[in-house]
Amino acid sequence: MTGRIDTAASVTLTGALSFLEKGGKKHVCYNIYIMKKNCWQKLNRPILALAPMAGITDSSFRLLCKKFGADIVYTEMVSAAGLCYGGQKTLSYLKFNKKEQPVILQLFGSKPEQFAKAAQIVEQAGFTGIDINFGCPAKKVVQNESGATLMNNLDKACKIIEATCNATSLPVSIKMRNSKGTTTAYDFVNKVKDLPIAAIMIHGRSFEQGFSGDASWDQIKKVRKIYKGILLANGGIYSPQAARQVISKLDIDGLGLAQGVQGRPWLFKEIKDLLKKETWSLSRDRVSSYDWPKIKKIILEHAKLTMKGKNNLIEMRKHLLWYVKNQPNAKELRQKLVKVETISDLKLILKNS
Protein backbone atom coordinates (compact mmCIF):
# COMPACT_ATOMS: atom_id res chain seq x y z
CA MET A 1 0.00 0.00 0.00
CA THR A 2 1.34 3.42 -0.88
CA GLY A 3 1.03 6.75 0.80
CA ARG A 4 0.54 5.50 4.38
CA ILE A 5 1.71 7.96 7.00
CA ASP A 6 2.01 6.41 10.44
CA THR A 7 1.89 9.17 13.02
CA ALA A 8 0.78 9.08 16.64
CA ALA A 9 -2.17 11.28 15.82
CA SER A 10 -3.82 10.62 12.49
CA VAL A 11 -3.22 9.84 8.84
CA THR A 12 -2.73 13.10 6.97
CA LEU A 13 -3.92 14.13 3.54
CA THR A 14 -0.42 14.77 2.21
CA GLY A 15 -0.22 11.71 -0.01
CA ALA A 16 -3.72 12.11 -1.44
CA LEU A 17 -3.33 15.84 -2.09
CA SER A 18 0.05 15.36 -3.71
CA PHE A 19 -1.40 12.70 -6.01
CA LEU A 20 -4.37 14.91 -6.86
CA GLU A 21 -2.21 17.94 -7.64
CA LYS A 22 0.07 15.96 -9.93
CA GLY A 23 -2.90 14.52 -11.79
CA GLY A 24 -1.09 11.20 -11.75
CA LYS A 25 -2.38 8.13 -13.46
CA LYS A 26 -2.01 4.64 -12.13
CA HIS A 27 -3.22 1.39 -13.62
CA VAL A 28 -3.10 -1.76 -11.52
CA CYS A 29 -4.35 -5.07 -12.77
CA TYR A 30 -7.24 -5.86 -10.43
CA ASN A 31 -6.19 -9.49 -10.15
CA ILE A 32 -3.09 -8.49 -8.13
CA TYR A 33 -4.86 -8.18 -4.79
CA ILE A 34 -6.88 -11.37 -5.21
CA MET A 35 -3.71 -13.36 -4.77
CA LYS A 36 -2.89 -11.52 -1.56
CA LYS A 37 -4.57 -12.01 1.78
CA ASN A 38 -6.57 -8.80 2.09
CA CYS A 39 -7.93 -7.22 5.27
CA TRP A 40 -11.27 -9.02 5.01
CA GLN A 41 -9.68 -12.45 4.93
CA LYS A 42 -7.65 -11.70 8.05
CA LEU A 43 -10.68 -10.98 10.24
CA ASN A 44 -12.08 -13.56 12.65
CA ARG A 45 -15.62 -14.81 12.05
CA PRO A 46 -18.25 -13.69 12.61
CA ILE A 47 -17.17 -10.23 11.46
CA LEU A 48 -18.89 -7.31 13.17
CA ALA A 49 -18.62 -4.23 10.96
CA LEU A 50 -19.70 -0.65 11.59
CA ALA A 51 -21.75 -0.02 8.46
CA PRO A 52 -21.49 3.34 6.66
CA MET A 53 -23.99 5.99 7.76
CA ALA A 54 -24.04 9.51 6.31
CA GLY A 55 -23.44 12.17 8.94
CA ILE A 56 -22.87 9.55 11.62
CA THR A 57 -19.81 7.33 11.09
CA ASP A 58 -17.20 10.05 11.43
CA SER A 59 -13.76 9.42 12.92
CA SER A 60 -14.84 9.94 16.53
CA PHE A 61 -17.71 7.45 16.29
CA ARG A 62 -15.57 4.95 14.40
CA LEU A 63 -12.94 5.09 17.16
CA LEU A 64 -15.58 4.56 19.83
CA CYS A 65 -17.05 1.57 18.00
CA LYS A 66 -13.58 0.08 17.58
CA LYS A 67 -13.09 0.34 21.34
CA PHE A 68 -16.27 -1.68 21.87
CA GLY A 69 -15.25 -4.43 19.48
CA ALA A 70 -16.04 -3.43 15.89
CA ASP A 71 -13.76 -5.56 13.71
CA ILE A 72 -13.82 -3.20 10.74
CA VAL A 73 -15.35 0.25 10.27
CA TYR A 74 -16.71 2.19 7.29
CA THR A 75 -16.60 5.93 6.73
CA GLU A 76 -19.59 7.99 5.76
CA MET A 77 -20.24 7.77 2.02
CA VAL A 78 -17.91 10.07 0.11
CA SER A 79 -18.50 11.56 -3.33
CA ALA A 80 -16.17 10.17 -5.99
CA ALA A 81 -16.72 13.34 -8.02
CA GLY A 82 -15.95 15.49 -4.99
CA LEU A 83 -12.59 13.77 -4.50
CA CYS A 84 -11.77 14.24 -8.18
CA TYR A 85 -12.57 17.95 -8.03
CA GLY A 86 -10.58 18.38 -4.82
CA GLY A 87 -13.34 20.02 -2.77
CA GLN A 88 -12.06 20.78 0.72
CA LYS A 89 -15.15 19.43 2.48
CA THR A 90 -14.94 16.17 0.55
CA LEU A 91 -11.21 15.86 1.12
CA SER A 92 -11.79 16.26 4.86
CA TYR A 93 -13.42 12.82 4.83
CA LEU A 94 -9.98 11.36 4.09
CA LYS A 95 -8.81 12.11 7.62
CA PHE A 96 -8.72 9.20 10.00
CA ASN A 97 -6.86 7.98 13.05
CA LYS A 98 -4.61 4.97 12.56
CA LYS A 99 -6.34 3.34 15.55
CA GLU A 100 -9.42 2.95 13.37
CA GLN A 101 -7.70 0.42 11.12
CA PRO A 102 -8.95 -1.56 9.34
CA VAL A 103 -11.08 1.27 7.93
CA ILE A 104 -12.99 1.21 4.65
CA LEU A 105 -13.86 4.37 2.74
CA GLN A 106 -17.19 4.18 0.95
CA LEU A 107 -17.57 5.94 -2.41
CA PHE A 108 -20.73 6.94 -4.22
CA GLY A 109 -21.19 8.38 -7.68
CA SER A 110 -22.19 7.50 -11.23
CA LYS A 111 -19.11 7.82 -13.47
CA PRO A 112 -16.59 4.96 -13.75
CA GLU A 113 -13.70 7.29 -14.58
CA GLN A 114 -14.33 9.31 -11.41
CA PHE A 115 -14.38 6.15 -9.31
CA ALA A 116 -11.02 5.16 -10.82
CA LYS A 117 -9.38 8.47 -9.91
CA ALA A 118 -11.06 8.58 -6.50
CA ALA A 119 -9.83 5.06 -5.73
CA GLN A 120 -6.25 6.14 -6.32
CA ILE A 121 -6.71 9.12 -3.99
CA VAL A 122 -8.21 6.88 -1.30
CA GLU A 123 -5.28 4.47 -1.54
CA GLN A 124 -2.81 7.33 -1.27
CA ALA A 125 -4.59 8.48 1.90
CA GLY A 126 -3.86 5.13 3.56
CA PHE A 127 -7.25 3.44 3.84
CA THR A 128 -7.50 -0.33 4.19
CA GLY A 129 -10.13 -0.80 1.50
CA ILE A 130 -12.77 0.80 -0.69
CA ASP A 131 -16.51 0.18 -0.70
CA ILE A 132 -18.95 1.18 -3.44
CA ASN A 133 -22.42 2.34 -2.49
CA PHE A 134 -25.22 0.71 -4.49
CA GLY A 135 -27.84 1.00 -1.77
CA CYS A 136 -28.38 4.59 -0.61
CA PRO A 137 -32.07 5.55 -1.02
CA ALA A 138 -31.58 9.29 -0.32
CA LYS A 139 -33.40 11.42 -2.89
CA LYS A 140 -30.43 13.69 -3.67
CA VAL A 141 -28.27 10.61 -4.30
CA VAL A 142 -30.64 8.62 -6.50
CA GLN A 143 -31.54 11.70 -8.55
CA ASN A 144 -27.88 11.85 -9.61
CA GLU A 145 -28.01 8.23 -10.80
CA SER A 146 -25.96 7.09 -7.80
CA GLY A 147 -26.58 4.81 -4.85
CA ALA A 148 -29.53 2.43 -5.17
CA THR A 149 -30.39 3.75 -8.63
CA LEU A 150 -27.45 1.77 -9.99
CA MET A 151 -29.17 -1.47 -9.03
CA ASN A 152 -31.36 -0.81 -12.07
CA ASN A 153 -28.37 -0.13 -14.32
CA LEU A 154 -26.33 -3.31 -14.08
CA ASP A 155 -24.06 -2.54 -17.01
CA LYS A 156 -22.97 0.76 -15.50
CA ALA A 157 -22.57 -0.85 -12.08
CA CYS A 158 -20.22 -3.39 -13.64
CA LYS A 159 -18.17 -0.67 -15.28
CA ILE A 160 -17.90 1.23 -11.99
CA ILE A 161 -16.70 -1.83 -10.06
CA GLU A 162 -14.25 -2.80 -12.80
CA ALA A 163 -12.85 0.73 -13.10
CA THR A 164 -12.35 0.90 -9.32
CA CYS A 165 -10.66 -2.49 -9.12
CA ASN A 166 -8.38 -1.65 -12.05
CA ALA A 167 -7.27 1.59 -10.40
CA THR A 168 -6.18 0.30 -7.00
CA SER A 169 -4.51 -2.57 -5.21
CA LEU A 170 -6.90 -2.15 -2.27
CA PRO A 171 -9.70 -4.70 -1.76
CA VAL A 172 -12.97 -3.41 -3.21
CA SER A 173 -16.28 -4.28 -1.57
CA ILE A 174 -19.87 -3.33 -2.42
CA LYS A 175 -23.05 -2.57 -0.45
CA MET A 176 -26.54 -2.89 -1.86
CA ARG A 177 -30.21 -3.22 -1.01
CA ASN A 178 -32.31 -6.38 -0.87
CA SER A 179 -33.99 -5.07 -4.01
CA LYS A 180 -34.94 -2.00 -6.00
CA GLY A 181 -38.03 -2.32 -8.11
CA THR A 182 -37.78 -5.60 -9.97
CA THR A 183 -34.00 -5.90 -9.54
CA THR A 184 -32.99 -8.09 -6.61
CA ALA A 185 -29.67 -8.42 -4.82
CA TYR A 186 -29.36 -11.84 -6.46
CA ASP A 187 -29.78 -10.27 -9.92
CA PHE A 188 -27.15 -7.68 -9.10
CA VAL A 189 -24.58 -10.12 -7.71
CA ASN A 190 -25.18 -12.58 -10.52
CA LYS A 191 -24.20 -9.81 -12.94
CA VAL A 192 -21.01 -8.75 -11.14
CA LYS A 193 -19.92 -12.02 -9.52
CA ASP A 194 -16.98 -12.54 -11.88
CA LEU A 195 -15.37 -9.26 -10.83
CA PRO A 196 -12.82 -9.36 -7.95
CA ILE A 197 -15.20 -8.18 -5.22
CA ALA A 198 -13.65 -8.71 -1.78
CA ALA A 199 -16.85 -8.44 0.27
CA ILE A 200 -20.57 -7.81 -0.14
CA MET A 201 -22.90 -6.25 2.43
CA ILE A 202 -26.62 -6.59 1.75
CA HIS A 203 -29.17 -4.41 3.50
CA GLY A 204 -32.15 -6.66 4.16
CA ARG A 205 -34.68 -3.94 3.31
CA SER A 206 -35.75 -2.93 -0.17
CA PHE A 207 -35.16 0.51 -1.65
CA GLU A 208 -38.87 1.19 -1.27
CA GLN A 209 -38.76 0.42 2.47
CA GLY A 210 -36.02 2.93 3.16
CA PHE A 211 -34.95 2.41 6.78
CA SER A 212 -38.23 1.14 8.23
CA GLY A 213 -40.01 -2.17 8.33
CA ASP A 214 -38.64 -5.66 8.81
CA ALA A 215 -35.50 -6.84 7.05
CA SER A 216 -35.76 -9.87 4.79
CA TRP A 217 -32.93 -12.35 4.34
CA ASP A 218 -34.24 -14.28 1.33
CA GLN A 219 -31.88 -12.54 -1.08
CA ILE A 220 -28.82 -13.16 1.07
CA LYS A 221 -29.63 -16.87 1.05
CA LYS A 222 -29.81 -16.82 -2.75
CA VAL A 223 -26.66 -14.72 -3.12
CA ARG A 224 -24.67 -17.15 -0.98
CA LYS A 225 -25.29 -19.87 -3.58
CA ILE A 226 -23.44 -17.91 -6.28
CA TYR A 227 -20.97 -15.83 -4.23
CA LYS A 228 -18.39 -17.52 -2.00
CA GLY A 229 -16.58 -14.39 -0.82
CA ILE A 230 -17.15 -12.36 2.38
CA LEU A 231 -20.90 -11.86 2.82
CA LEU A 232 -22.39 -9.57 5.49
CA ALA A 233 -26.02 -9.03 6.52
CA ASN A 234 -27.19 -5.53 7.42
CA GLY A 235 -30.44 -3.97 8.59
CA GLY A 236 -32.83 -4.37 11.51
CA ILE A 237 -30.24 -5.62 14.01
CA TYR A 238 -30.94 -3.77 17.24
CA SER A 239 -29.96 -6.28 19.93
CA PRO A 240 -27.43 -9.02 20.69
CA GLN A 241 -30.24 -11.55 20.48
CA ALA A 242 -31.26 -10.42 16.99
CA ALA A 243 -27.62 -10.55 15.92
CA ARG A 244 -27.14 -14.09 17.19
CA GLN A 245 -30.34 -15.26 15.54
CA VAL A 246 -29.35 -13.83 12.15
CA ILE A 247 -25.84 -15.27 12.37
CA SER A 248 -27.17 -18.70 13.35
CA LYS A 249 -29.73 -19.01 10.57
CA LEU A 250 -27.77 -17.55 7.64
CA ASP A 251 -24.63 -18.77 5.92
CA ILE A 252 -22.85 -15.45 6.30
CA ASP A 253 -19.45 -14.20 7.43
CA GLY A 254 -20.78 -11.48 9.69
CA LEU A 255 -22.96 -8.44 10.22
CA GLY A 256 -22.95 -4.77 9.36
CA LEU A 257 -24.39 -2.78 12.28
CA ALA A 258 -25.98 0.59 11.61
CA GLN A 259 -29.05 2.05 13.33
CA GLY A 260 -28.65 -0.45 16.14
CA VAL A 261 -25.47 1.26 17.36
CA GLN A 262 -26.90 4.78 17.28
CA GLY A 263 -26.65 5.76 20.94
CA ARG A 264 -25.42 2.26 21.69
CA PRO A 265 -21.86 1.72 20.38
CA TRP A 266 -21.39 -0.94 23.06
CA LEU A 267 -23.72 -3.22 21.05
CA PHE A 268 -20.60 -4.68 19.42
CA LYS A 269 -19.35 -5.88 22.82
CA GLU A 270 -22.77 -7.13 23.86
CA ILE A 271 -23.03 -9.22 20.69
CA LYS A 272 -19.57 -10.71 21.16
CA ASP A 273 -20.30 -11.48 24.81
CA LEU A 274 -23.54 -13.26 23.89
CA LEU A 275 -21.86 -15.21 21.08
CA LYS A 276 -19.41 -16.63 23.62
CA LYS A 277 -22.21 -18.24 25.61
CA GLU A 278 -23.03 -21.85 24.79
CA THR A 279 -26.62 -21.42 25.94
CA TRP A 280 -28.69 -18.27 26.11
CA SER A 281 -32.24 -17.13 26.75
CA LEU A 282 -34.09 -14.52 24.72
CA SER A 283 -35.54 -13.03 27.92
CA ARG A 284 -32.71 -13.58 30.44
CA ASP A 285 -29.98 -12.12 28.23
CA ARG A 286 -31.96 -9.08 27.10
CA VAL A 287 -31.02 -6.81 30.02
CA SER A 288 -28.08 -4.53 29.22
CA SER A 289 -25.33 -3.98 31.78
CA TYR A 290 -24.90 -0.40 30.57
CA ASP A 291 -26.72 1.74 33.10
CA TRP A 292 -26.96 5.53 33.07
CA PRO A 293 -23.68 6.18 35.01
CA LYS A 294 -21.78 4.06 32.45
CA ILE A 295 -23.55 5.70 29.53
CA LYS A 296 -22.66 9.17 30.84
CA LYS A 297 -18.97 8.23 30.82
CA ILE A 298 -19.27 6.97 27.24
CA ILE A 299 -21.01 10.18 26.19
CA LEU A 300 -18.15 12.27 27.57
CA GLU A 301 -15.57 10.05 25.90
CA HIS A 302 -17.40 10.44 22.58
CA ALA A 303 -17.55 14.21 23.07
CA LYS A 304 -13.81 14.45 23.76
CA LEU A 305 -13.04 12.45 20.61
CA THR A 306 -15.35 14.74 18.64
CA MET A 307 -13.64 17.88 19.92
CA LYS A 308 -10.28 16.65 18.63
CA GLY A 309 -11.47 17.27 15.09
CA LYS A 310 -14.10 19.99 15.55
CA ASN A 311 -14.57 23.30 17.37
CA ASN A 312 -17.92 22.45 18.93
CA LEU A 313 -20.36 19.64 19.64
CA ILE A 314 -23.15 20.78 17.34
CA GLU A 315 -22.76 17.86 14.95
CA MET A 316 -22.78 15.46 17.91
CA ARG A 317 -26.20 16.58 19.13
CA LYS A 318 -27.99 13.78 17.26
CA HIS A 319 -25.79 11.23 19.04
CA LEU A 320 -26.59 12.85 22.39
CA LEU A 321 -30.33 12.44 21.75
CA TRP A 322 -29.84 8.78 20.89
CA TYR A 323 -27.83 8.19 24.06
CA VAL A 324 -30.65 9.39 26.32
CA LYS A 325 -33.38 7.41 24.58
CA ASN A 326 -35.32 5.27 27.07
CA GLN A 327 -33.95 7.19 30.06
CA PRO A 328 -36.66 8.18 32.60
CA ASN A 329 -35.94 11.89 32.15
CA ALA A 330 -35.24 11.68 28.41
CA LYS A 331 -37.62 14.50 27.42
CA GLU A 332 -36.01 16.96 29.84
CA LEU A 333 -32.51 15.92 28.78
CA ARG A 334 -33.28 16.26 25.07
CA GLN A 335 -34.48 19.83 25.57
CA LYS A 336 -31.09 20.69 27.07
CA LEU A 337 -28.86 18.56 24.85
CA VAL A 338 -30.12 20.09 21.59
CA LYS A 339 -28.46 23.35 22.72
CA VAL A 340 -25.08 21.86 23.68
CA GLU A 341 -22.01 23.42 22.08
CA THR A 342 -19.09 22.74 24.43
CA ILE A 343 -17.76 20.01 26.71
CA SER A 344 -18.50 22.28 29.68
CA ASP A 345 -22.15 22.56 28.63
CA LEU A 346 -22.38 18.80 28.35
CA LYS A 347 -20.67 18.06 31.66
CA LEU A 348 -23.04 20.38 33.50
CA ILE A 349 -26.14 18.71 32.01
CA LEU A 350 -24.86 15.22 32.75
CA LYS A 351 -23.81 16.14 36.27
CA ASN A 352 -27.33 17.26 37.08
CA SER A 353 -29.02 14.28 35.44
Which of 39, 136, 158, 165 is flagged as catalytic?
136
User: Is 136 in the active site?
Assistant: yes
Report, in angstroms and rounded to the nearest whole number, the Rg of the chain calculated over CA atoms.
20
Residue type at 53 in one-letter notation:
M
**CB atoms near residue 137 (< 10 Å):** 19
Instruction: Output the CA angle 71-74-75, nearest 5 degrees.
Output: 145
Is the bond leading into 137 cis (omega within 30 degrees of zero)?
no
Of all helices (H) and strands (E), which one includes residue 231? Answer: strand 230-234
Of the candidates 108, 112, 154, 111, the residue with the CA atom closest to the CA atom of residue 131: 108
Measure CA 63 to chain center.
Answer: 12
Give bridge partners of residue 257 from the DSSP assignment: 50
Contact 78, 93 (CB under 8 A): yes
**Active site positions, annotated:** 136
